[in-house]
Structures are given as structure tokens and as C-alpha cells.
Structure 1
Amino acid sequence: MAVRKNQADLTAAEKRRLIDALLQLKRDGRYDTFVRTHNAFIMSDTDTGDRVGHRSPSFLPWHRRFLIEFEQALQSVDASVTVPYWDWTVDRTPAASLWAADFLGGTGRSRDGQVMDGPFAFEAANWPVNVRVDGRTYLRRALGAAVAQLPTRAEVDGVLAMATYDMAPWNSASDGFRNHLEGWRGVNLHNRVHVWVGGQMATGASPNDPVFWMHHAFVDKLWSQWQARHPRSPYLPAAGTRDVVDLHDTMRPWNNVTPADMLDHTRYYTYDTAA
């Protein structure tokens, strides 16, 4: 059983194996396939139309499946690798260990956002940005430039206390746990982190930045904590809606995956015992 660890607890060898697996997926083209998939869905998911990956109840099960498939791709390169999570309530500054040159590299330079150090820097020649929102082919970041503060533990706890998973109108105007975690309502959790990192993370092509996976692993961990805290609060909607994914509806792009299939993550992985 795969165990997802806090990125801050990875050993130097575990970091190196993860980086090597990421670089291999980039070389063989599989990494960019994930970027294209995410970008296509974020562009097509709208508040008033068919929505699957974002702005909708299936945001959490969709990304759970997306991470599982990515983790399986990493493990096809190195079976020991799992997707670590970034607890942004603790590792809150550009000086945090994940931004070190021996791991993800740091923020971008001021004039164009280009990441200049680490294995994913343009100068390292290993990480061309092929799925682009503009003409720039290098990884970009602007840590803390667009929004000053990452979410706090108190803000997370407030969202985890919400007892209802989701509710009509089942989009970015909805109340409930899902939308507050996704960040369209309230204290803005998930969305705020994307904007804090900046660069490609603030676009639909956000998986271009490997921190995307660590961010979403933590979002998924928070969902698992909410599920444990509210065992009688089901995924909603159960049935009968239009334009969103009901409990037993298929989630595109998969032909046989429903939200119900994604409710028990322990079939695939567990998280370490850190809070």
C-alpha cells in the first residue's frame, strides 16, 4: 500500500527518486499528457454548463482520480515513489524546504518569473514547458507576489467543520465544504495557493509546475480528514441533476469512474500519521 508523506519529511534519497521519476515522465511525453488533460477541463468547466473537474461537486473525486493515475505513472518508473503532500499551513514561505535548489527550486526572477535554480529550471534543460498559455517555454513562479499569505490552519479547520459536502447551485456560488475548500467561497483555500505560487500554477496549465501534485495531494488529504470527521455526510448530489456529476455518474475523461468509486482512498494509498 502506497503511503503519501509530507514533503518536508522526505529524505534526500526520496527527493532524488521523485525528481528522477518526474524527469523521466517528462522525457517520454507522459507528463505533458496530464498537463493537457487538466488544461482542457479547466477551460471547459463553467458555472452554467457541463462541469466535471472544477467549479462542481466532482472537483474532489476528479482530482483524486487524476492524482492516482499520475502516481501510477510515477510508479511505472520507480515503484518506490509516491506523491508527497505540501502542507501549506506549515510550510508557508519561499524559504520552506520544498523550494530549495535540491528539490523544486525557488521563485522566479523578477523580470519574467523564470525559475533559475533546481532540476526544473530552464537552464537545466530538462523541463521545457510544452503545454503553454503564452509563448514562454520555461517554468515560471512568483511566490507570494499576487497574494501575500497562504491559508492558515485556523482557516482550514473552519472549512473542515462544515457538515454539508455541497449544495445547489452546484457551482462556484455554492455553499458547503467542497466549494469552500476549492476556494470560490469563504477564506479561499485551494485557489489561493495556486495564485500564491504564481506562474503556470495560476493558469489552467498548472500541472506544468510539479508543485501542483503536492498541493493537490494536500487538498485530497484534507478531504480524507473531512470524510473521517463527517462519516454521515455523503457526497452530493446523489442523483437527478443536470450539468454536474451525480454520485454514480461517470466522470470524464474516464469511461468507468464515478465519484462513488473515489470515496475510499485507502483502496489505493494512505497518508502518513502527521496531522
Structure 2
Amino acid sequence: MTVRKNQAQLTATEKKRFIDALLELKRSGRYDTFVSTHNDFIMADTDSGDRVGHRSPSFLPWHRRFLLQFEQALQAIDPSVTLPYWDWTVDRTPRASLWAPDFLGGSGRSRDGRVMDGPFAASGGRWAVTVRVDGRDYLRRALGANGRQLPTRAEVDSVLAIETYDMAPWNSASDGFRNHLEGWRGANLHNRVHVWVGGHMAAGASPNDPVFWLHHAFIDKLWADWQARHPRSGYLPAAGTPNVVDLTDTMRPWNDVTPADMLDHTRHYTYDTAA
């Protein structure tokens, strides 16, 4: 059984194997297909039209499937690799271990955001950005440069206490757990982290930055925590809702998975209990 670990608990060997698998997936060209898929969906998802990956109830099961597919691609390269998660309520500053040169590398330089150290720096020649938001082909970050702070544990706990999964109008104006976690309402959890990292993480092509996967693994863990806390509160809406993915509707771009199929993550992986 795959066990996803807190990135702060990874050994030096586990970090290296994870990085090596990422670099090989990038070298093969498969990594960029994931970036393109995410970018296509975030650009197409709108509050008033068809929405699948974002601004909608299927935000959480869609990304659960997306991460699982990515993790399986890494495991095809190295079966020992699993997706770590970044608990940004604890590792809250640019000095946290995940930004070290032996793991993800640090923030970008002030004049253009270019990441200068770590395995994804342009100088290493192994991480050219090909799914671009502009003409620049290097990874960019601006950790905390906007002056905002990462979400706190108290803010996370307040969102986990919400009992209803989602509700009309089933978009970024909705109340309920999903939208508060996604970040369009209330404490602004998921979205705020993207903006705090900045650079590519603040755009639709956010998987260009490998921290995307660690961030979303933590979002997925928080959904799993919410499911355990509210066992009688299921996915909504159930059926007959225009423009969104109901419980048993197929989620594009896949033709074989519904939100109902993704409710039980333990069939595929578990999370460790590290804080």
C-alpha cells in the first residue's frame, strides 16, 4: 500500500528518489502533459458554464484522480516513490526544509522570479518550461513576496468543521466545505497557497512548479480528514445539476471515473500520521 508522507519526514534517499523520478518524467515529455491538462481545465472552468476541475464540487475528486495518475506515472519510473505532502500550516516560511537546495530549491530572484538553486533551476538544464504563460522558459517563484501569510492550523480547523460538502450555486460563490477549502470563500486556503508561492504557481500552468503536487497532496489529505470527521456528509450534488459533475457523472478528461469512484482514497493510498 502506498503511504504518502509529510515532506518534512522524508529521508535524504526518499527526497533524491522523488526528485530523480520527477526529472525523468520531465525528460520523457510526460510531465508536461500533466501541466497542459491542468492548464486547459483551469482556463475552461467558469462560474456560469461547464466546470469540472475548479470552482465546482468536483474540484476535490478531480484533483484526487489527477494526483493519483501522476503518482502512478512516477511509480512506473521508481516503484518506491510516493507523493509527499506539504503541511503549510507548519512549514510556513521560505526557510522551511522543502525549499532547500537538496529538495525543491528556493524562491526566485527579485528582478524576474527565476529560481536559481535546486534541481529545477534553469541552470541545471533539466527543467525547461514548455507549457508557458509568457515567453520565459524557466521556473519562477516569489515565496511570500505579496506580504500575505500561509493559512494557519486554526483556519484549517474552522474549515474542517463545516458539515456540508457543497451547495448551490455550486461555484465560487458557494458556501460549504469544498469552496472554503478551495479558497473562494472564508479563510481562502488552497488559493492563498498558490498565490503565496507565486510565479508559475499563481497561474493555470501551476504544475510547472513541482511544489504543486505537494500542495495538492495536502489538500487531498484535508479532504480525507474531513471525510473521516463527517462520515454522514457525502459528496453533493447527487444528480440532475446543470454544468457540474454530479456524484455518478463521468469527470473529463477521463472516461472511466466519477466522483463516487474517488471517495475512498484508501483503495489506492493512505496518509501517514505525522503533523
- The TM-score, its normalising length taken from structure 2, stands at 0.99
Deviations 1:57-113 (A, max 9, x none): 000000000000000000000000000000000000000000000000000000000
Match of 1:217 in 2: 217
1:60 aligns with 2:96: no
Equivalent pairs counted in the alignment come to: 275
Give me the whole-angstrom Cα distance separating, in 1, the residues matched to 2:274 and 2:231: 20
Give me the whole-angstrom Cα distance separating, in 1, the residues matched to 2:58 and 2:32: 23
**5+ unaligned residues in a row in structure 2: which ranges?**
none
SS in 1 for 2:17: helix
Deviations 1:29-58 (A, max 9, x none): 000000000000000000000000000000
Question: Which one-letter code corresponds to 1:130 in the other structure?
Answer: T
SS in 2 for 1:270: strand
1:244 aligns with 2:229: no
1:166/1:235 contact within 8 Å kept: yes
SS in 2 for 1:3: strand
SS in 1 for 2:156: helix
Match of 2:44 in 1: 44
1:10 aligns with 2:10: yes
1:147/1:195 contact within 8 Å kept: no
Alignment of 1:192-271 (within 5 A): 192-271=192-271
Provide the identity percentage: 83
Shift of 1:256: 1.1
Match of 2:96 in 1: 96
SS in 2 for 1:111: coil
Question: Which one-letter code corresponds to 2:195 in the other structure?
Answer: V
Shift of 1:216: 0.1
Shift of 1:146: 1.8
Question: Which one-letter code corresponds to 2:240 in the other structure?
Answer: G
Deviations 1:6-46 (A, max 9, x none): 00000000000000000000000000000000000000000
Alignment of 1:30-179 (within 5 A): 30-179=30-179
Shift of 1:150: 0.1
SS in 2 for 1:266: helix
Deviations 1:236-274 (A, max 9, x none): 000010000000000000001000000000000000012
Question: Which one-letter code corresponds to 2:227 in the other structure?
Answer: Q
Deviations 1:218-242 (A, max 9, x none): 0000000000000000100000100
**5+ unaligned residues in a row in structure 1: which ranges?**
none
Give me the whole-angstrom Cα distance separating, in 1, the residues matched to 2:146 and 2:175: 25
1:166/1:176 contact within 8 Å kept: yes
Question: Which one-letter code corresponds to 2:32 in the other structure?
Answer: D
SS in 1 for 2:24: helix
Give me the whole-angstrom Cα distance separating, in 2, the residues matched to 1:172 and 1:39: 18
Question: Which one-letter code corresponds to 2:226 in the other structure?
Answer: W
Question: Which one-letter code corresponds to 1:149 in the other structure?
Answer: Q
Give me the whole-angstrom Cα distance separating, in 1, the residues matched to 2:31 and 2:141: 19
Structure 1 residues 147 and 50 mapped into 2: Cα distance closer, same or farther (>3 Å)?
farther
Give me the whole-angstrom Cα distance separating, in 2, the residues matched to 1:14 and 1:147: 32
Deviations 1:105-132 (A, max 9, x none): 0000000000000000000111000000
Question: Which one-letter code corresponds to 1:8 in the other structure?
Answer: A
Shift of 1:148: 2.1
Give me the whole-angstrom Cα distance separating, in 2, the residues matched to 1:274 and 1:54: 28
User: Which consecutive aligned stretches of 4+ in structure 1 deviate over 2 angstroms post-superposition?
Assistant: none
Structure 1 residues 43 and 147 mapped into 2: Cα distance closer, same or farther (>3 Å)?
farther
Question: Which one-letter code corresponds to 2:142 in the other structure?
Answer: A
Question: Which one-letter code corresponds to 2:231 in the other structure?
Answer: P
Shift of 1:147: 4.1
Question: Which one-letter code corresponds to 2:191 in the other structure?
Answer: N
